[in-house]
Amino acid sequence: MCRIAGLIHRYQTPSEADMIRMRDAMQRGGPDDAGIYVNDTHHIALGHRRLSLLDLSPAGHQPMHSADGRVVLVFNGEIYNFRELRSTLQTMGYAFHTGTDTEVILYAYLAWGNDCWAKLEGMFALAIVDFNIQNLVLVRDHAGIKPLYYSISEEQLVFASEIRAFKALQPHWPENTDWRKYFYYSVTCPSR
């Protein structure tokens, strides 16, 4: 199952304590491991709760970084065709150090950029930060099976797998009273 969370602030680095509160509010969805990543230069914090299914070793720890540090990823879900993608990427010269689908996503992004999302078969929600182009991408599978909630304002972007993470960050988080309509629209009209 796993869980992901993130904070990006325009003016200041999110606190490690805020990210830990958000991440740990979702502990039941990822009881096996927990990780955070905080970048002072880019004012970003990422959190992950892990449910170990594929590679049970510590090598599957997230947030996961590319070997050159260009990209960092948090991922929730399962990629059904990751073995085929891994094989293709290996023929392109990418070396793998884990048996996880997470690492496959990381190198698929490096190989194909945003075109890689169409190659992923599975259920997933993820956030990937590319420091070379100073870009964050939030991605969900086409059917929206894995939840990914977000809030954006002039000062910050907050995202998480569960609403409880928002409440852990700010106990009096204002509820959008139209949430049902947006949820219904995104579930019933995924192609729009």
pLDDT, tens only, 47-68: 998 866 655 666 778 899 998 9
The residue whose two tokens read 């947030």 is: 63
Is the per-residue pLDDT at 117 higher than 90?
yes
Neighbours of 88 (CB within 10 A): 16
Q: What is the pLDDT of residue 189?
A: 45
Phi-psi region of 32 (alpha: psi -120 to 50; beta: other; left: phi over 0): alpha
Residues 6+ apart with CB under 8 A from 97: 59, 103
Residues in the chain: 192
Is-contact 128 72, C-beta < 8 A? yes
Is 116 tagged catalytic?
A: no
Question: Which residues, in sequence order, are bridge partners of residue 75?
Answer: 126
Higher pLDDT, 86 or 144: 86
Q: Strands 33-39, 3-9: parallel, antiparallel or unpaired by DSSP? A: unpaired
Q: How far is CA 72 from CA 33, 46, 66, 106, 175, in A?
A: 17, 9, 7, 8, 30
Q: Which of 2, 26, 165, 168 is catalytic?
A: 2
Q: State the helix-helix crossing angle for 101-112 and 82-91, rounded to 10 degrees.
A: 50
What's the gap between Cα 177 and its chain centre? 26
Bond prior to 63 in cis (omega within 30° of 0) = yes
Is-contact 182 163, C-beta < 8 A? no
Is the per-residue pLDDT at 192 higher than 90?
no
pLDDT in tens, 80-108: 999 999 999 999 999 999 889 999 999 99
Question: Which residues, in sequence order, are bridge partners of residue 156?
Answer: 9
Is the per-residue pLDDT at 185 higher than 70?
no
For 83, phi and psi rounded to 5 degrees?
Answer: -65, -40
